[in-house]
């Protein structure tokens, strides 16, 4: 697909439905079925995690298509049956069935995300290459790895990067430094420390749409120091003609929309010569909550 050039950086969150956002993102009286449409009024893209756990019905993907504007971009994870249970082997029918159900939103997908388990290491690279060759050439792909060997800056990581470059696949970048800098004093942070990958940040763009997953600190202001590196890297990628995707998490995601807007505005101020369209949450009188700091 062709991502709209009017959005040099695509900003989004890791979900579009979250009860806490009724107070900030959706506004009063928003029904659960209208949340995606409200979300798409503010953000450019979203990471669809639900497809990792279960393949939706065709009727559902049609609703997702109809709820979003023409220039809205989805990223969807491939089902865990493909990536974790089969680990990319002998899953042709599963893949065919999945893409058939996702057909209504295919033209709105900026990345099909292949999230691989931590045990998927260098010995799996042959399976990954074979799998990438099977995918339709026009499908944009992102690959997220978690095995330590792929972060050791050795031959295994070089082999992975070469493979992704050869197939035009984006290496998904995990920046979990902020959340691991937070003391484990709340249930949300403790849970994040247990579940989120604690891996180094290797900011390499192996294709045209590098994707960053920034897992934030619960104290909003603490994230600024960690985002400073991205204020350098993102303009470089833009100058090279790349179109980054920036996804913002927080431990409980309650204030992920506010953090996403905060960091995006820093990027706008850092590169004023690049036309980054404004992003803003609803005003307090619309949302019934507080003014964004």
Q: Is residue 58 assigned to a domain?
A: yes
What pLDDT, in 10s, does the model give residues 113-136? 999 999 999 999 999 999 999 999
Q: Is residue 2 assigned to a domain?
A: no
The answer to whether the beta carbons of residues 223 and 188 sit under 8 Å apart is no
Domain span holding position 170: 10-287
Residue 15 backbone zone (phi > 0: left; psi -120 to 50: alpha; other: beta): beta
CA distances from 267 to 24, 42, 57, 205 (A): 22, 17, 38, 19
Q: Is residue 292 assigned to a domain?
A: no
| pLDDT confidence of residue 28 | 79
Q: Is residue 293 assigned to a domain?
A: no
Q: Is residue 94 assigned to a domain?
A: yes
Secondary structure class of 138 (helix, strand, coil):
coil
Q: Is residue 232 assigned to a domain?
A: yes
Buried b or exposed e, range 110-125, using 16+ CB within 10 angstroms: bbbbbbbeeebbeebb
Q: Please count the structural domains in the chain.
A: 1
Q: Is residue 5 assigned to a domain?
A: no
| pLDDT confidence of residue 275 | 82
For the chain, the average pLDDT equals 92
- The whole-angstrom separation of Cα 289 and Cα 244 is 31
User: Is the pLDDT assigned to residue 288 strictly greater than 80?
Assistant: no
The 3-state DSSP composition of the chain as helix, strand, coil percent (nearest 5) reads 45, 15, 40
CATH of the domain at 220: 3.20.20.410
Tokens for 169?
């696949």
Average pLDDT over residues 140-159: 97
What pLDDT, in 10s, does the model give residues 15-62? 999 999 988 899 878 898 999 999 999 999 999 999 999 999 999 999
Q: H/E element holding 114?
A: strand 109-115
- The whole-angstrom separation of Cα 177 and Cα 25 is 26
pLDDT band, residue 213 (cuts 50/70/90): very high
- The whole-angstrom separation of Cα 85 and Cα 179 is 28
Tokens for 201?
């940040």
Q: Is residue 3 assigned to a domain?
A: no
What pLDDT, in 10s, does the model give residues 215-237? 999 999 999 999 999 999 999 99
């Amino acid at each position: 697909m062709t991502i709209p050039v009017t959005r040099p950086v695509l900003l989004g969150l890791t979900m579009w439905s979250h009860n806490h956002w009724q107070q900030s993102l959706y506004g009063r009286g928003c029904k659960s079925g209208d949340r995606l449409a409200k979300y798409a009024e503010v953000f450019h893209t979203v990471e669809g995690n639900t497809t990792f756990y279960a393949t939706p019905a065709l009727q559902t993907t049609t609703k997702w298509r109809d709820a979003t504007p023409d220039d809205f971009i989805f990223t969807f994870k491939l089902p865990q049956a493909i990536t974790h249970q089969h680990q990319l082997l002998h899953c042709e029918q599963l893949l065919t069935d999945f893409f058939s159900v996702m057909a209504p939103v295919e033209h709105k997908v900026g990345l099909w995300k292949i999230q691989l388990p931590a045990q998927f290491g260098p010995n799996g690279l042959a399976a990954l290459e074979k799998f990438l060759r099977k995918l339709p050439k026009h499908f944009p792909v992102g690959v997220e790895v978690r095995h330590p060997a792929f972060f050791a800056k050795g031959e295994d990581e070089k082999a992975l990067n070469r493979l992704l470059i050869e197939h035009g696949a984006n290496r998904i970048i995990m920046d979990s430094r902020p959340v691991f800098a937070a003391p484990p004093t709340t249930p949300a942070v403790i849970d994040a420390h247990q579940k989120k990958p604690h891996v180094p940040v290797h900011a390499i763009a192996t294709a045209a749409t590098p994707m960053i997953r920034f897992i934030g600190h619960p104290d909003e202001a603490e994230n600024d120091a960690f985002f400073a590196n991205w204020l350098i890297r993102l303009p470089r990628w833009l100058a090279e003609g790349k179109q980054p995707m920036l996804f913002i998490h927080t431990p409980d995601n309650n204030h992920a929309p506010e953090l996403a807007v905060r960091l995006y505005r820093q990027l706008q101020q850092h590169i004023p010569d690049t036309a980054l369209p404004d992003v803003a949450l609803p005003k307090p009188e619309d949302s019934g909550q507080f003014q964004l700091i």
